[in-house]
Structure 1
Amino acid sequence: MSLHARKVDGVPEETARIARAAFPKASLAMRIRDEPGELFSDADFAGLYPNRGKPAWAPGRLALVSVVQLAEGLSDRQAADAVRGRLDWKYLLGLELADPGFDHSVLTEFRDRLIAGDAGIQLLDRVLEAAVERGLLKAGGRARTDSTIVLSAARRINGLVRLGETLRAALNTVAAHEPEWLADWVPSEWFDRYAIRFEDTRLPKGKARQAELIEQIGADGLSLLAALYGPDAPSSLRLLARAQTLRQMWIQQYFVDDGQVRRRDLKGRPPGAERLVTPYDTDARGSAKRGVFWDGCKVHLTETCEADGPNLITHVATTDSTVQDVRLVAPIHAHLAERDLLPDRHLVDAGYATAREVVTARQNHEVNLVGPILASTSWQTKEGGGFSQADFTIDWKNQQVTCPNGATSSRWAEDRSQEGAAVVRARFPTAACRPCRAREQCTRSNSKSDMGRRITLRPRAGHEAIQQARAQEDTPEWKEQYAHRAGVEGAISPGVRAFGLRRCRYYGLAKVRLQHQLTATAMNFHRLNAWWTDAPRARTRVSHLAALRPTAQNFCS
């Protein structure tokens, strides 16, 4: 397929006349065409197509179809039918009434091109640029970010079924590519063992019998791998994705002990960021959050929250489920800085706010990262009555720490934490701490040669930032400012309920990332449409009892 870029010359007169007669108050699709005009042009996607070949269907129109498809929750077939048969879609795309549209498979090919060119985010950026041009979006003000879990498109399975399904999937793939070779090699009893899905069979009940079956599956899988890598096997088989998955799963789950295949115990398996949870989606990872366990990934949404404009999603990021929220702060700010959409205040929850990120956001982007800083986890703070780090006076200029009883540290050294972060380690002399009457409130060291208190500090900027942030958290001004962060649930909730944000439509992190980029763009379409039609914003729900409180305030979501 090649691209013959062409400009859409408005909406055909007959299409416009009949569409306006059928929709006198217009529709979302028609307002997207009328208000911002032509959002996507063919030239925007020129780099995704070769110079020679059969002319492709206009990618600018396909981009609109891909977004509105998610805005209305349509499948590829339904979207292609809408292009052929719906008046408002023909108006949106600038098509003649008799235009036959395209086959639904064109949408799959177009998404593959967006993924290959990493161009999905361009659709969201173009909508934001149109909002900026019309004065609906600007830098500064407030923004807020939160994440939610996303379930893999593959069904969730337990350990025994996972191993059996991995081997069964590999056998089916080999059978599809080299049926004669496999028929000559495969043991006859494997047809009964791996012919149907494992969860549809009568699995053993006892742990001992289950362990035997797990070891049997391990031995069978090892035999298949040995055959695939043997000299008599076609070399193409070992390159199959399912064969590679089988090999990776077996390395993670099994080892050979004196010729016997054994399953690794939990401590011997790789960490969650590397461990496969299903053979059907090798990018999915298992994770847990506040007692919720899931296999899949996470999506992070950042939106504006100002009263004088629509709340638009300015950034969307998809990561595997094991990535900590705090690791997204810097990429979000870098992305918004490139597009000149940085907020003055960025409201986040405790998962994103750390001393390092607060300082970095302020130094690199002049952004005030607002979020609750986690309290100290030291036993002195937890038990109360002890001398925590906040009770010590720090003289940064003279590199000295003074305890509440007046003793001064004897050592000050710059070091690195286990995570590689810069820290300062201060230590008090044993001679000062041993006779101290308050020693039990300060340190529990029992070493006779080293009974002095040790203090680990962040660099000065981080230490002062965290102390300042914790002091501000108790003020009414900070609480009133931070209350606006709760409105981000107004983005996640409709994203989950109306746009399927919490369920992957596709396998693989790259495809899911594109799904979320298109979903964020579709959500912005709805928010712009609500702004253009003066639809009132939903307000934060308040219980009848909370509404009686004199100081209760409702913030727009």
Structure 2
Amino acid sequence: MSMMAKGSREIPAETVRVARAAFPRGSLAIRVLSEFRDRLVAADAGRRMLDGILVAAREKGLLKTAGRARTDSTHVLSAARELCRLELVAETLRAALNALAQAAPDWLVGVAEPDWFRHYATRAEDSRFPKARAKRDEVGLRIGRDGMRLLQAVFAPDAPREVPALPQVEVLRQVWVQQFHLIEGEVARRDPKDRPPGAMRLVTPHDVEARGSVKRDTFWDGYKVHLTETCEEGVPNLITNVATTLATVPDDRMAAVVHAAPATRDCLPGEHWVDSGYATAAQIVAARADHGLALHGPVLGNTSAQAGSTNGYGQDAFTIDWDRKQVTCPGGHASMTWNDRLSQQGLPVIRVRFSATDCRPCPARDERINSPAAPRRELRLRRHDEHHALREARTEQQTDEWKNRYKIRAGVEGTISQGVHRCDLRRSRYKGLAKTSLQHQLTGAAINLARIDAHLTDTPRARTRTSHFAALRPADQPANGAKQQGPN
């Protein structure tokens, strides 16, 4: 058997055989591409390409600054397959055994139990775990005991020096700490409430940066991407920032991030339209103070029991003297204490307390006290600037003018749809946050090029598709699954 290299002499069959043994089909190309992507990540090539397109667009008058922009996020599935708990622990142990088999084969042969070769020689997805709950629990404990024995051997004094430093061994250690513990010397499964939060919890040994998260009815393992785009008339809507995060990072932590990056490119808008996840009192104030822009998004309403009650007294019923650090209740009584502190989430909060002597005889006590068993009324206030920003936003968002202006934000959902259908935005092609971020930055650059081309060639935007049946809907019939008001 032989093969011909184009423009060269025949390659000996033995050379071909050795090459194929060293590099199975496709592995060389995969390795070369992987190393190429590593170089792209190291050079921040995705960001540089996106920036280069924006610079060229600005020079041609296709990118306006100090206008309007909008942002939204969507979930991104990890490149690694989603695993159930049994698959997670079995795959983690199998990956560690494979790494040890390469690094210290002779040592591992002396450590491995005979039945390990039967249980962990193949992928967990190829195993047939029992369906009965009791049997599955037994399998989970057996895997837990095997992993614990392996970790004890790895960290024993007589183990090879390079063994504990293997990345797969560290992943095994972390997963076992998160999933198991010792009770009187016996390995036991951790209760779900005793496991670390999602931001720390590993979900697969094959992508250690992927995290499990949930948003409404969507559950996924992977990441999250935030897209910011311009929305001005007469020019294409261009993506000015792409930010990829772990799946567990909440949107309210990202407003400052999606403002800081465009600021370095001179792409900051004057108005930024977002959904309720981004618009908090702190972020509205920070956007105005740090960048001079107006952050618009539905802020959460007052959810206190008094605000929701017909006869209750919410915070708006109290008079706040910020200079004197004192609050006066509707009955005319002044607060006793004013304490600046941090909340459990690490956010600044002001805790105000009234006197129990004033609150007990108050005729409106039930409407003003947080709980019937509480002896006094307590208030938790935001800082002065955040308090006023929140009140102003709540008042403004009740107007028809603001509601009509807010409709501009919905367009970013079309951008996410374009990214999903054209570039498979919601599925990571690679493992790890860095390469997933590279993919998303290149996706943003590709969408910008497509939009610039459509603008220069006068390609009309696609119309909203309406099915023939939907077109028959009467004007007074609600659409999109809206609830109808039934008969009384």
Q: Which residue of 1 aligns with 2:445?
A: 521
Spell out the pairing of 1:412-427 with structure 2 (5 A cutoff). 412-427=338-353
Q: Give the partner amino acid of 1:491.
A: T
The reply on whether 1:537 has 2:461 as its aligned counterpart is yes
Shift of the 252–138 alpha-carbon distance from structure 1 to 2, 3 Å rule, reads: same
Q: Give the partner amino acid of 2:355.
A: P
State the aligned residue count. 448
Q: Could you tell me how far apart the structure 2 residues matched to 1:105 and 1:123 are?
A: 24
Q: Give the partner amino acid of 1:443.
A: I
Q: Of 124, 131, 135, which residue of structure 2 is paired with 1:198? A: 124
What is the CA distance between 1:538 and its match in structure 2?
Answer: 3.6
Higher alpha-carbon deviation: 167-176 or 137-146? 167-176
Q: Which residue of 2 aligns with 1:358?
A: 284
Q: Give the partner amino acid of 2:403.
A: K
Spell out the pairing of 1:235-246 with structure 2 (5 A cutoff). 235-246=161-172
Q: Could you tell me how far apart the structure 1 residues matched to 2:336 and 2:248 are?
A: 41
The reply on whether 1:451 has 2:375 as its aligned counterpart is yes
Q: Which residue of 1 aligns with 2:39?
A: 113
Q: Of 501, 504, 513, which residue of structure 1 is paired with 2:428? A: 504
Greater relative contact order (Cα 8 A, min sep 6): structure 1 or 2?
2
SS at 1:147's partner residue? strand
Q: Could you tell me how far apart the structure 1 residues matched to 2:30 and 2:89 are?
A: 35
SS at 2:164's partner residue? helix
Spell out the pairing of 1:229-378 with structure 2 (5 A cutoff). 229-378=155-304
Q: Give the partner amino acid of 2:224.
A: K
Shift of the 229–271 alpha-carbon distance from structure 1 to 2, 3 Å rule, reads: same
What is the CA distance between 1:280 and its match in structure 2?
Answer: 0.8
Q: Which residue of 2 aligns with 1:147?
A: 73
SS at 2:352's partner residue? strand
C-alpha contact (below 8 Å) 2:370/2:378 kept by paired residues: no
Q: Which residue of 2 aligns with 1:221?
A: 147
Q: Of 448, 461, 464, which residue of structure 1 is paired with 2:385? A: 461
SS at 2:209's partner residue? coil
SS at 1:238's partner residue? coil
Spell out the pairing of 1:12-91 with structure 2 (5 A cutoff). none
Q: Could you tell me how far apart the structure 2 residues matched to 1:281 and 1:350 are?
A: 30
Q: Could you tell me how far apart the structure 1 residues matched to 2:341 and 2:435 are?
A: 42
Shift of the 268–105 alpha-carbon distance from structure 1 to 2, 3 Å rule, reads: closer
TM-score with structure 1 setting the length: 0.76
Q: Could you tell me how far apart the structure 2 residues matched to 1:537 and 1:356 are?
A: 37
Spell out the pairing of 1:397-412 with structure 2 (5 A cutoff). 397-412=323-338
Tell me, which stretches of 5 or more residues in structure 2 are unaligned? 1-24, 477-488
The reply on whether 1:123 has 2:49 as its aligned counterpart is yes
Q: Could you tell me how far apart the structure 2 residues matched to 1:274 and 1:531 are?
A: 44
Shift of the 105–533 alpha-carbon distance from structure 1 to 2, 3 Å rule, reads: farther
TM-score with structure 2 setting the length: 0.86
Q: Give the partner amino acid of 2:366.
A: E
Q: Of 474, 493, 497, which residue of structure 1 is paired with 2:398? A: 474
Q: Could you tell me how far apart the structure 2 residues matched to 1:369 and 1:411 are?
A: 33
Deviations 1:58-110 (A, max 9, x none): xxxxxxxxxxxxxxxxxxx99xxxxxxxxxxxxxxxxxxxxxxxx88655333
What is the CA distance between 1:544 and its match in structure 2?
Answer: 5.0
C-alpha contact (below 8 Å) 1:428/1:453 kept by paired residues: yes
Tell me, which stretches of 5 or more residues in structure 1 are unaligned? 1-76, 79-102, 550-557
What is the CA distance between 1:536 and its match in structure 2?
Answer: 1.5
Deviations 1:361-413 (A, max 9, x none): 01111110000001122112234431111222223233332333433333333
Q: Which residue of 2 aligns with 1:65?
A: none
What is the CA distance between 1:465 and its match in structure 2?
Answer: 0.6
C-alpha contact (below 8 Å) 2:306/2:370 kept by paired residues: no
Q: Which residue of 2 aligns with 1:49?
A: none
What is the CA distance between 1:231 and its match in structure 2?
Answer: 4.3
Q: Which residue of 2 aligns with 1:71?
A: none
Deviations 1:25-45 (A, max 9, x none): xxxxxxxxxxxxxxxxxxxxx
Q: Give the partner amino acid of 2:392.
A: Q
C-alpha contact (below 8 Å) 2:318/2:330 kept by paired residues: yes
Shift of the 346–464 alpha-carbon distance from structure 1 to 2, 3 Å rule, reads: same
Q: Could you tell me how far apart the structure 2 residues matched to 1:251 and 1:177 are?
A: 24
What is the CA distance between 1:429 and its match in structure 2?
Answer: 2.3
C-alpha contact (below 8 Å) 1:301/1:316 kept by paired residues: yes
C-alpha contact (below 8 Å) 2:225/2:242 kept by paired residues: yes
Q: What is the root-mean-square deviation in Å for CA atoms of aligned residues?
A: 2.4
The reply on whether 1:186 has 2:116 as its aligned counterpart is no
SS at 1:492's partner residue? helix
Deviations 1:230-282 (A, max 9, x none): 34443223222212211111121122222211121112211111111111110
C-alpha contact (below 8 Å) 1:409/1:428 kept by paired residues: yes
What is the CA distance between 1:539 and its match in structure 2?
Answer: 4.9
Q: Could you tell me how far apart the structure 2 residues matched to 1:304 and 1:545 are?
A: 35
Q: Could you tell me how far apart the structure 2 residues matched to 1:276 and 1:536 are?
A: 46
What is the CA distance between 1:532 and its match in structure 2?
Answer: 1.2
Q: Give the partner amino acid of 2:364.
A: A
Identity %: 53
C-alpha contact (below 8 Å) 1:487/1:540 kept by paired residues: no
C-alpha contact (below 8 Å) 2:73/2:224 kept by paired residues: yes
Q: Could you tell me how far apart the structure 2 residues matched to 1:173 and 1:411 are?
A: 61
